[in-house]
Structure 1
Amino acid sequence: MSERSKPSIFWLFALFALPLMGLMVKFRLHDREKMPQTGAAIITPNHYSNIDPVVIGTATWYLGRLPRFMAKASILKIPVLGWILLKSGQIPVERGGSTRSSAALNAAKELVAKERTVIVYPEGSLTRDPDMWPMRGKSGAVRLALELDIPIIPVAHWGTQQLMARYSNKLNVFPRHTIDVKVGDPVDLSEFVGKPLDNKTLTAATNKVMDAITALLEDLRGESAPEVRWNPAEHNQSETGRF
C-alpha cells in the first residue's frame, strides 16, 4: 500500500495545495518507478529557488510518498504552525544543522521505525553556482543514511526557476510552467559502511550523492555540468540556510 493512501494530515494539505499548484505548474515526472513506495528513505534534491520545498513536496506526493523535511527547530516552535509541522512528521534541526542533536536523531529513528521518507537538501542552501548547477554538499544526509542504514534517493528538478527566480520571493504565475522532475537509483554507499564517520568518509560519501544529483540534472537540462563543483568558501559566499 502506498504511504500516501493512508489517512494523514497530508490529505488536508493536498486538498488545498494541489489544486493551486495545478493552476501554475505542469509536472513531468521521469523514472518515477525508481521512487520506493515503502520503507524509509532520504530524498535528496537539488536546490536553487525559494519555492523548491513546495515544488519538491508536491512532486513527492505525486510520486507516492509523503513530503517530510528537515526543518529548523525554531520554526517548529511557532504556535499552530509548529504543531502542524510536528504532527506531519517534520524533523527538527537545531541551528548549526547537526544531525547529532538528540531531537533530530530520535526523529530520524522514528522515521526508520515507521518506514517514512524525509527530504534533505544536501547543499544546505540555494546553490551559489552562477548557472544553478549543484554546489558542494553538506554531510547531513549521508550521516543519517550511514548511521541508520537508510537508502538515499537522488532527485533533480528543472523549470522551477520560471515559477520563482533564484533569490526572489515573487511568484510568476502566468503562463503555466512545466517542471521536470527526475528520480535516480539509490546512491551506492556500501563502500563507506563500517568506516568511521570522520570528515574524509563523510566528504567522499557526500560527493557521491552530489554526483548522482548532478547527473540527473544534466539529463534534464541536456547539458554538461562544470568539471569542478562550486565551492562557496572559495568565493567568500555564505552557505547558511537549510540542513
Structure 2
Amino acid sequence: MPDLTALDRAVLDRTARDRTARDRTYRWVIRLCRVLFRALGLRIEVSGVEHLPSTGPVVVAANHSSFLDFMFVGLAAVQRGRLVRFMAKESVFRSRLSGPLMRAMAHVPVDRAHGELAARQALRALRAGEAVGVYPEATIGRAFVVKDAEDFRRGAAYLALATGAPLVPVAHWGIHRIFTVDRRYSLRRGKAVEVVVGAPLVPLPGEDADALTLRLHDRLRVMVDELVERYPQPPTDPARAWWWPATLGGAAPALVDARVLDVAAVRRVDARR
C-alpha cells in the first residue's frame, strides 16, 4: 500500500469518526425502537435473515404499508449486524423531530423533483460497502398488499445493476395496524408483525432495470400474499376491518381504488409545498 500523506490520513480519520458517530446514533435509535416494541407488546417474527449478506454492499427492497416500516425492516438487518441507510422522502428530513435523526443516521433524502441527487448518494453508500434500503412502491399503499407493477419504481434495480450489489427483497405485514396513512393507528397491545427476508435476486444475462424490477415486484407480491394468508390474527369480521385486504373480504380499498387515493394524497402534498 502506498504511503499516506497527512491529508489522506486526516480524511480517513474524519471519515472513521463520522461513521462511528452516525452508527452510535443509529444504535441509540434501535434501542428506543425496541423499548417501543416491548411497550406495545408486539408479537414480532423475523425469518430468512441468512439471505442478507453480513458484509459488503446490498440493496434492500421492501413493501411500504406504514410510517414504521423502516423500524422492522431495519430490525431484520440488525440481526445480521447491518445498519440500513434508507432512502426516504425529503419532507421527513425537514421535520424538526425526525430530520436531525435521519441526517445523523446517514439516511438518504429523496426529492421527487431531483431524484438523481438521491441516486448518487445511494451509489456512494453502496460503493462504500453500505446496505441501502429502498421502497419501490415509493408511497405507502392503502390496499395493504403490493401495488401493481406499473406503480413500481426502478431505483432498487438500477442501484443493484450499477454496483453489482445483491438485491434482497424484504416483505412484512401487520405493521400498518400500528400506524399508517389517513390517521389510522392503534396502541392496542399484542399485534402480530412478521418480517421475511427473501433470497437475493441475481440479474440475468442482459437483464435491464425494467426486467429486474418486474421480477422484484412479482417476488415481493408473492411474499406479502403468503404473509397475509398465514397471518395469525385475522379479523373476526373482515368487512369491518379497515386493515384487512379487499381480496379477502376486508374493508381496505381494492388496488384500483387505492391507487386513486394514493395519487390524490401525493397531489395534496405537492400542492402544500
Pairwise same-fold verdict (TM > 0.5): yes
Q: Are the aligned partners of 1:18 and 1:58 in contact in 2 as well (CA < 8 Å)?
A: no
Give the corresponding residue for 1:238: 263
Give the secondary-structure state (helix, strand or coil) at the position aligned to 1:68. Answer: strand
Q: 5 Å matches for 1:57-76?
A: 57-76=74-93
Cα offsets for 1:169-221 (capped at 9, x unmatched) = 3432222112111110111223345xxxxxxx433221111111112123322
Residue 146 (structure 2) aligned to one of 117, 122, 133: 133
CA contact (8 A) 1:152 1:187 kept: yes
**Aligned with residue 171 of structure 2, among 156, 160, 179:** 156
Query: Equivalents in 1 of 2:171, 2:259: separation in Å?
Result: 25
Tell me, what secondary structure is at the counterpart of 2:168?
A: strand
2:191 pairs with 1:177: yes
The match for 1:196 is none
| Cα offset, 1:92, TM superposition | 2.3
Q: Deviations over 1:98-152 (max 9, x none)?
A: 2x23xx24422331233111111101112254x6233331111111111222211
* RMSD, aligned CA: 3.3
Whole-Å Cα distance in 1 between the matches of residues 154 and 75 of structure 2? Answer: 25
Q: Give TM-score scaled by structure 1 length.
A: 0.76
SS at match of 1:96: helix
Q: Give the counterpart of 1:15 among 12, 15, 31.
A: 31
**2:12 aligns to what?**
none
Q: In 2, distance between residues paired with 1:178 and 1:154?
A: 20
Q: 1: distance between equivalents of 2:96 and 2:155?
A: 27
Distance 2:168 2:47 in 1: 14
- CA distance in structure 1 between the partners assigned to 2:114 and 2:136 by the alignment: 11
- CA drift of 1:154 comes to 0.2
Which amino acid letter does the alignment assign opposite residue 263 of structure 2? S
Match of residue 37 from structure 1: 54
Report the 3-state secondary structure (helix = DSSP H, G, I; strand = E; otherwise coil) of the residue aligned with 2:37. helix
**More helix per residue:** 2
**% identical equivalent positions:** 24
Residues 97 and 212 of structure 1: CA distance in aligned 2, closer, same or farther (over 3 Å): farther
Aligned twin of 2:158: 143
Instruction: Name the CA shift for 1:128/1:191 in 2 (closer, same or farther; >3 Å).
Output: farther
| Letter of the 2:107 counterpart | Q
Secondary structure of residue in 2 paired with 1:13: helix
**1:235 Cα deviation after fit:** 5.5
Q: 1:190 to 1:235 in 2, by over 3 A?
A: same
1:87 maps to 104
Specify the alignment match of 1:108 in structure 2. Answer: 122
Deviation at 1:7, TM superposition (A): 5.4
- Rounded to whole Å, the distance in 1 between the matches of 2:263 and 2:195 is 27
Which moved further from structure 2: 48-57 or 72-81? 72-81
Q: Secondary structure at the match of 1:8?
A: helix
Unpaired runs of 5+ residues, structure 2, are 1-19, 231-244, 248-253, 268-273
